[in-house]
Amino acid sequence: MDTPEQPQIYLITPPSIELSRFPDRLARVLDGAEIACIRMALAGSDEDAIARAADACREVAHARDVALVISNHVLLTQRLGLDGVHLDDAARSVRAARKELGADAIVGSFCGNSSHDGMTAGEAGADYVAFGPVGSTSLGDGTLAERDLFQWWSEMIEVPVVAEGGLTPEIVRSLTPCTDFFGIGEEIWSEDDPLAALNTLLAAMA
């Protein structure tokens, strides 16, 4: 029997980044753990602020061969030299983003707890689908993406899946057999030592 591969870590930035501190914190996490991809999930639409944050994060990420995608700003993706885009509107923008960015860019889609939206996104060309929140968080309307959804998806659908939102060691342990990625953000950045917080979650995958 092959042991199933462990899920990979997909890091999500805080909604606002302190440029004097965050790049160093990010570098420390990347140097201390294996990270598959980083999503810049910045709030607001101040293009200049987004560009400065992207430049700082891209420098840290690309120096370590880690891909960097941005939430929703399809048109900024190429201008800022990023690797792709993460869309928050389920399957609605996937086809247009793929057309705009080309075959090599990463295009991901957040689909809440809807397997239908996930399948539609996959058919439209998404490289991965994210479901969540999986635990209690103030995001969204409180509807959770249940373990059954991940179990079904991992058995039936080939598009990689990300579990995110409200992760705890218990939830990580439960979802490890049936997700490809854990999307980890606020769970670690709200702590004084993000790497230690990440390692606590990683330990639950064992």
For 7-66, the pLDDT digits (tens) are 999 999 999 999 999 999 999 999 999 999 999 999 998 999 999 999 999 999 999 999
Q: How many CA atoms lie within 13 A of 129 on its CB side?
A: 27
pLDDT of residue 156: 97
Contacts by 49-55 with C-beta closer than 8 Å and gap 24+? Answer: 50/76, 50/80, 51/76, 51/79, 51/80, 52/19, 53/13, 53/17, 53/19, 53/22, 54/80, 54/82, 55/80
pLDDT (average), residues 163-186: 97
pLDDT of residue 2: 43
pLDDT of residue 138: 66
Domains plus CATH for the chain?
8-203 (3.20.20.70)
| pLDDT over threshold 90, residue 141 | no
The answer to whether the beta carbons of residues 64 and 33 sit under 8 Å apart is no
The answer to whether the beta carbons of residues 81 and 58 sit under 8 Å apart is yes
Condensed to tens digits (0 to 9), the pLDDT of residues 67-92 reads: 999 999 999 999 999 999 999 999 99
Query: Rounded to whole angstroms, what are the CA distances from 21 to 11, 39, 57, 84?
Result: 17, 18, 11, 24
Residue type for position 8? Q
Assigned token pair, 69: 């995608």
| pLDDT over threshold 70, residue 1 | no
Contacts by 21-27 with C-beta closer than 8 Å and gap 24+? Answer: 22/53, 22/56, 22/57, 23/56, 23/57, 23/59, 23/60, 25/189, 25/194, 26/57, 26/60, 26/61, 27/60, 27/64
pLDDT of residue 5: 83
| pLDDT over threshold 60, residue 169 | yes
DSSP 128: E
pLDDT of residue 137: 75
Q: How far apart are CA 16 and CA 32, in angstroms?
A: 23
List 40's β-bridge partners, or say none. 70
Condensed to tens digits (0 to 9), the pLDDT of residues 89-133 reads: 999 999 999 999 999 999 999 999 999 999 999 999 999 999 999
